[in-house]
Structure 1
Amino acid sequence: MHLIDIGANLTHDSFDRDRDTVLQRARDAGVTRMIITGASREHSPKALALAQTHPGTLFATAGVHPHHAVEYTEECDAEMRALHAHPEVVAVGECGLDFFRDFSPRPAQRKAFERQLQIAVETQKPLFLHQRDAHADFMAMMKNFDGKLGPAVVHCFTGTREELFDCLDNDWHIGITGWLCDERRGQHLREIVGNIPAHRLMVETDAPYLLPRTLKPMPKDRRNEPAFLPHIVEELARDRGEDVATTAAATTLAAAAFFRLPEA
């Protein structure tokens, strides 16, 4: 398999001790390209710097997650725009709304999201989106930019069947993580992932978060990493009624086209 992990938080400090080894394990597992998530003023520049040290295999996003929305000042907006001038930054985000934790006030979340949607309009780069427990507001804000945006992926999709079809009706892509492997809260995903068209389906680990609960053996530190992406693909293929090679090839093709990656 030649897989693309579309969302890995490899600038997280849990990788500081062994980041190069983690990257090698990913390559050995067939994860040949990765999109490093930029989700704050601190980590978006780090994601770019990491991508620049691995040209052609690592790429970056630049954005401010709704948890960090209070960071989104005029200075922050200028910083994001400067990051997007670099070709290694292939998507706007992670951005969106999160009403589950409300780590930032909802008005601040909406403002930060709107500013980043405007960057996406101006750059026509793809959007790397986050939405949790905010579907109605999220859809309304996206509709305000209808016809102006480029492609979009709803990263780490965990929503309902109805929410999935809302996304698909808008021609958005869907990112599937190890949430699928969680028997406590991911069972509904297993029942609906077969509805995602192959050309709109992508896979991601969201490392170091969302370690697949079906992974055996479990790493002692419970840290997720890109080398575990093939396990997610195997689970996803089973739920879609496909062989693993078919799912792997489709998700890789979709990701390469979506992020406009150069040929491997």
Structure 2
Amino acid sequence: MLAHWVDCGVNLTSSQFAEQTAAVVTRAKAANVQQLLLIGCDVAGSNQAAELAKTHQLVATAGVHPHDAKSVSANYLQHLSQLLSRPEVVAVGECGLDFNRDFSPRDQQEKVLREQLALAQSLQLPVYLHERDASETMLKVLQDYRVHGVLHCFTGNHSALMGYLDYGLHIGITGWICDERRGDKLRTLLPEIPLERLLLETDAPYLLPRTLRPKPKSGKNEPAYLPEIASQVATLLGTDLAHLQQQTSANFYRLFMSQSHV
């Protein structure tokens, strides 16, 4: 039995955690969040995430976020491939499409996404996907590849959810589910996600659960608060926390660690 939580998405390289990474990991483990997936969003950040994962016996991703697609170097895929050969680096990403902020041109976002999907397919590694206001394009792109992975921080509509599930992806749920202002749609969709495809993540330091009491003075989210997200999910699904813990942790290890020698 897996008697601990896993946070399937932590931005531990964020400047908000500067000089605090060891303390953040210590607090997470004290809250029984024993494994963290550290997210890389560009080559430099992915290298930093890999080093932190090695230091703290965690795991990481390596990839280029759509916001950074405009800035890739000519040999960025070579750098990612080198990172992905490290035992603590278990997935390609955070990659995807963001048509909400459009920090990179859409055609460049799609090009860089396709290159990373091809890399994941060739290495037979899972992908860690980001998508905002781009589900139709994302699903069309995915049809050209055969990859497995997670749609991180899902906040989309019913059609998008069904498309991602039909493709075979896992679905990541964050503190968005705890937000009474904008989480209503997600709460209604949550029961549509098969429990064996559900992953829990904080996306720390972002998306502090609004239901958390007392609220931290820093205003920052961190992995130690994952049990608050889990509590909300368990209540909405009508399941007990122990069952949710066992299932979501098993999902994580099956998806990200089955091919790893970490």
Query: What interval of TM-score do these two structures reach, taking the shorter chain for normalisation?
Result: over 0.9
Provide the residue aligned with 1:32 in structure 2: 34
Letter in 2 for 1:118: A
Task: Name the aligned partner's letter for residue 38 of structure 1.
Answer: G
Residue 71 (str. 1) matches residue 45 (str. 2) = no
Q: Is the 8 A contact 1:178 1:212 kept in 2?
A: yes
Map 1:154-173 → 2, pairs under 5 A: 154-173=151-170
Structure 1: distance between partners of 2:89 and 2:71: 20
Q: In the TM superposition, what whole-angstrom CA distance separates every residue of 1:165-212 from its partner, at most 9, and x where no partner exists? A: 111111110000001111111111111111211111100000001111
1:45–1:263 CA distance, 2 compared to 1 (3 A):
closer
Aligned to 2:235: 238
Task: Structure 2 unaligned segments of length 5 or more: list them.
Answer: none
Amino acid across the alignment from 1:51: A
Matches within 5 A, 1:37-116: 37-55=39-57, 58-116=58-116
2:223 is equivalent to residue 223 of structure 1: no
C-alpha distance in 2, partners of 1:83/1:41? 9
Structure 1 residues 206-259: Cα deviation after superposition (integer angstroms, max 9, x where no partner): 000111111111111211000000000000011111111111111001001110
Cα shift readout 1:5-58 (whole Å, capped 9, x = no counterpart): 010000111111321111111001010001100111221000000111123xx1
The one-letter amino acid paired with 1:245 is A
CA gap of 1:263–1:95, structure 2 versus 1, over 3 A, is: closer
**d(CA) in 2 for partners of 1:211, 1:155:** 16
SS at match of 2:257: coil
How far 1:66 sits from its partner (Å)? 0.3
Partner of 1:184: 181
- TM-score, normalising length from structure 2? 0.96
CA distance in structure 1 between the partners assigned to 2:108 and 2:165 by the alignment = 27
Partners of 1:208 and 1:225 within 8 A in 2: yes
In structure 2, the residue matched to 1:135 is 135
Q: 1:153, 1:101 → 2: CA distance?
A: 21
Write the distance in 1 (CA, Å) between the matches of 2:118 and 2:159: 27
Task: Give aligned-pair identity as a percent.
Answer: 45
Q: Secondary structure at the match of 1:131?
A: strand
Aligned counterparts of 1:14 and 1:181: Cα–Cα separation in 2: 22
Q: Is the 8 A contact 2:70 2:104 kept in 1?
A: yes
Q: Find the counterpart in structure 2 of residue 4 from structure 1.
A: 6
Two-structure CA RMSD over aligned residues (Å): 1.4
1-side partners of 2:107 and 2:27: how far apart?
41
Match of 1:249 in 2: 246
TM-score normalized by the length of structure 1: 0.95
Structure 1 unaligned segments of length 5 or more: list them. Answer: none
- Larger CA deviation: 176-185 vs 14-23: 14-23
Rounded to whole Å, the distance in 2 between the matches of 1:22 and 1:152 is 26
Q: Is the 8 A contact 2:126 2:256 kept in 1?
A: yes
